[in-house]
Amino acid sequence: MSLHDLIARIQPLDDAAMAEARSRQDQLTKPQGSLGRLEALSIRIAGIMARPRPKIRNKVITVMAGDHGVVAEGISAFPQEVTPQMVLNFLHGGAAINVLARHVAARVVVVDMGVAADLPDHPGLVKKKVAYGTANMAQGPAMSLSQAEQALLAGAQVVEQEIEKGLDILATGDMGIGNTTPSAAIAAALTARDPADIVGRGTGLDDAGVQRKVSVVRRALEVNQPNPHDALDVLAKVGGFEIAGLAGAILAAAGHRRPVMVDGFISTAAAMIAVGLAPAVRPYLFAAHRSQEQGHGIMLAWLGLDPLLDLDLRLGEGTGAALGISLAEAACKILDEMATFAEAAVAGKIA
């Protein structure tokens, strides 16, 4: 499948399914609108899935991993060796995302998009390595346009395979030391905001580290001059392989009429690339939470997304998205399982 085909498959939400879901919500045994955003959540999922009473049973969290040449600029508090070490931790079930995935009964799909090390074969690891990490974006493009497209399509292929196994909702997660830097660069390029408004502490930089990171993002934007009206150009010049993979996964999920629960800073950068490539993907996205990273609110505003949670999270991995899945599932269960006034023989509809 080509990138063009992937994008062309994304359709508008189903208005009839949403109207039917809204009508049912208004007849459930509660004052109309009393479950607030849970009601709106279920109605939009009905439109996404084209089912008036959608059910979320098969939950998938894809954690895509990649390394970044820009770590040579000293923008991370952790060494690059942590990326493959954490991938192994995911595969052994010991990371935060594994715990939360078990909590919400989701399966974790770990993908090597561009880790700068050879990872051992493992039944839980999907190998889609484009290269051993990106190039240093402070000195030139992070990747070629063909690599960017390859990574997008690889991410889409992961979702295509998971759809065959059963996938009702996709959550996005990431792993890659240094990846808040390309994410900030993507956000700055697309929003036209100064990097100082977007760059945060990442894995725990001090004030001097943050200033160094801001200067690196500025340099990357000056050197590469990414075109804000061409998301593929932005991705290639200042992105990452895992960011590209997540953007492709988002496009594929939307093409199959599946809701996408977007995690934090890095996943939101991927969502911005996906929306830049295909504006029709926007209503398929839900922001699980507002990250502690200072620029995340700017990114969410650009996407027009209102986060479901605000827990001061900044881990990544899909941890916030796992919790968001729980809310989406709860919203759909209310719509489907709660009795109407007629079904419950409760007198009068409370306006």
Listed in sequence order, the residues at least 6 apart from 267 whose beta carbon sits closer than 8 Å to its beta carbon are 172, 173, 174, 246, 316, 318, 321
Is the distance from CB of 134 to CB of 143 less than 8 angstroms?
yes
Q: Which of 73, 160, 242, 317 is catalytic?
A: 317
Is the distance from CB of 176 to CB of 240 less than 8 angstroms?
yes
Question: Encoding tokens for residue 290?
Answer: 């507002």
- Please report, for the chain, how many H helices and E strands are present, in that order: 15, 6
Q: Give the distance, in angstroms, between the CA of residue 190 and the centroid of all CA atoms in the same chain.
A: 17
Catalytic status, residue 317: yes
Is the distance from CB of 173 to CB of 316 less than 8 angstroms?
yes
Listed in sequence order, the residues at least 6 apart from 47 whose beta carbon sits closer than 8 Å to its beta carbon are 13, 14, 15, 17, 18, 21, 283
Question: Which are the catalytic amino acids?
Answer: 317
